[in-house]
Amino acid sequence: MIKLLFVNTDLRGGGAEKVLVNLLNRLDFTKYEVTLFTVFKEGVNRENLRPEVKQKWFFNNLFKGYSRIALIFPPRILFKFFIKEKYDIIISYLEGFPSRIVSGCEDPNTKIVSWIHLELYKNTVSYEFRNLKEAEKTYNKFDKIVCVAESVKKCLQESINIRPNKFKVIYNSLDIEDIIHKSKENVLPIKNKLRLCTVGRLNPQKGYDRLLRIVSRLKNEDNIDFELLILGTGPLENELKKYVKENKLIDTVQFLGYNKNPYAYIKSSDLFVCSSYKEGYSTVVTESIVLGTPVISTNCSGMSEILDEGRCGVIVNNDEESLYLGLKNILLNNQLIEHYKEKAIERSLFLKERNELQNFDHLISELIN
């Protein structure tokens, strides 16, 4: 069997962590011996791992400043410190710290892979590296660099000098049967108004601050009657809840926290909203399309590929005013919602046909052979 090691920071409720768990659970355990190493034990996604996946971690709890401390040590020291066994292939499943660790592997018989989820520009590619030069040197050590979207690949190629033959695009793997099955759960009463939904960690990247300002305008200035469901937790939760209270939006916005089954909420909604400043290849937007729920999204990485250049969903410029105008237009036009619902169903047929597990198997075969 081929010994695989996946390396990640933790298994908290983010999209990349969720996709990682989904990928691990669907691997062929007759072909692969699979181990997951996380620097920190933390994470709601850990309980979803199949027992066939061996789990290892170093620290029980996440602590602030760990990445700055890690910068003191070169990658080869980090690798020896964290990774004790031999593997055929080691995969860093996140940018930054996991990539520094894995790039320190000096065993010529071990192949190493870096998985990139975000658009990394010159000013962000060196995040959790000492500088841009170290980032470039690190990524060039990998045998393969897997990007979750063509736009992610293009951005990294423009930011640092990496040989083109190192790149491979593998879209996020989804368990579509499980998504559809879970979406049938009855979780909400029958709605008597338009229902919007968004899912993600409540952090600055997701743009929920501007989304709530837009909701306030739509509700208080335009008198549009609707509700917004927000599923997720994160560092901005108290700040966002305070804004909702101060702006009299309690009857409009519901904070539902982290939920193992967001699919039922997405399925019962008229529209999914992605207000992110940046994404890689949004898992939850893909899930929304699979469930036939129309999407409006800011123009960030991967959206054109998911929404077929805007033919199967609304893509607006990545600024507050454009998202406001896009939402206002679609909320005032029921026919537009029905149009994009039909297009979402059409697009879902294409997404269901993609086989990313097969692409993963091809990647492993390339590396081994």
CA 336 from chain centre, in angstroms, equals 27
Closest Cα partner for 272 from 308, 303, 317? 303
- Name the pTM for this structure: 0.85
For residues 9 and 85, give the distance between their C-alpha atoms in angstroms, rounded to a whole number: 18
pLDDT(13) > 70 = no
pLDDT band at 45 (very low <50, low <70, confident <90, very high): confident
Please state the CATH superfamily assignment of the domain spanning residues 2-171+354-368 in this structure: Glycogen Phosphorylase B; (3.40.50.2000)
Closest Cα partner for 11 from 59, 47, 64, 52? 47
pLDDT tens-digit map of 317-351:
999 999 999 999 999 998 999 999 999 999 988 88
Residue 123's SS3 state is coil
For residues 57 and 40, give the distance between their C-alpha atoms in angstroms, rounded to a whole number: 6
Strands (E) across the chain are located at: 2-8, 32-40, 54-59, 89-92, 111-116, 144-147, 167-169, 194-199, 226-231, 253-257, 271-274, 295-298, 314-316
Q: Where in the chain is the domain with CATH 3.40.50.2000?
A: 2-171+354-368, 177-353
Mean per-residue pLDDT over the chain, rounded: 93
pLDDT(302) > 90 = no
Instruction: State the sign of the Cα–Cα–Cα–Cα dihedral 37, 284, 215, 231.
Output: negative
What is the Cα gyration radius of the chain? 21
Beta bridge partners of 316: 298
Task: For the beta carbon of residue 309, count every other beta carbon within 10 angstroms.
Answer: 10
Beta bridge partners of 295: 272
Instruction: State the sign of the Cα–Cα–Cα–Cα dihedral 211, 331, 306, 11.
Output: positive
DSSP 8-state secondary structure symbol assigned to residue 252: T
For residues 7 and 36, give the distance between their C-alpha atoms in angstroms, rounded to a whole number: 6
Asked whether the beta carbons of 164 and 237 are under 8 A apart, the reply is no
Closest Cα partner for 226 from 184, 198, 204? 198
Mean pLDDT, rounded, for 223-241? 96
Percentage above 70 pLDDT, the chain: 100
pLDDT at 206: 96
The 3-state DSSP composition of the chain as helix, strand, coil percent (nearest 5) reads: 40, 20, 40
pLDDT tens-digit map of 138-174:
999 999 999 999 989 999 999 999 999 999 999 998 8
Give the residue ranges of DSSP H helices in 297-369. 303-306, 320-331, 334-353, 356-368
Residue that is written with structure tokens 């607006």 in the block: 316
CA 159-149-122 angle, to 5 degrees, is: 15
CATH topology of domain 177-353: Rossmann fold (3.40.50)
Residue 362's SS3 state is helix
Token pair listed for 342: 């039909």
